[in-house]
Structure 1
């Protein structure tokens, strides 16, 4: 993604996914009480996956756009 707006959206979505993933994992690991998700290992695994996706989106959004190849090279 080369335009700045698109990269900003990726970073915002990545941060949201990271926060949601950490909360899900915390509830699944019984670190955050008060929910039906508390202590259920399924939410721990779902949270880890969502958090990793969030980190990937953040990294993709923060990467500098590629310069491309000069004309004539393949």
Structure 2
């Protein structure tokens, strides 16, 4: 189960990174390219992915 949570969090983190890069125009080929809105959405997705990684790997004490 821990592996599944980590993979899901990493996928969300990677998608957020792609969206952010498209938002600032570094990755082209999409309607999102150059739209600053996608930079912010990507940052939120990356933060959610990071929070998911922390949650998946916290100690159960």
TM-score greater than 0.5 by the shorter chain: yes
Long gaps (5+) in structure 1: 67-74
> Normalising by structure 1, what TM-score?
0.77
Give 1 or 2: higher helix fraction.
Answer: 2
- Give the alignment's Cα RMSD to 1 decimal: 0.9
> Normalising by structure 2, what TM-score?
0.91
Between the aligned partners of 2:3 and 2:49, the Cα distance in structure 1 is 13
Long gaps (5+) in structure 2: none
Write out aligned runs for 1:1-74 (5 A). Answer: 5=1, 7-66=2-61
Q: What displacement does 1:9 show?
A: 2.4
Corresponding residue pairs, total:
61
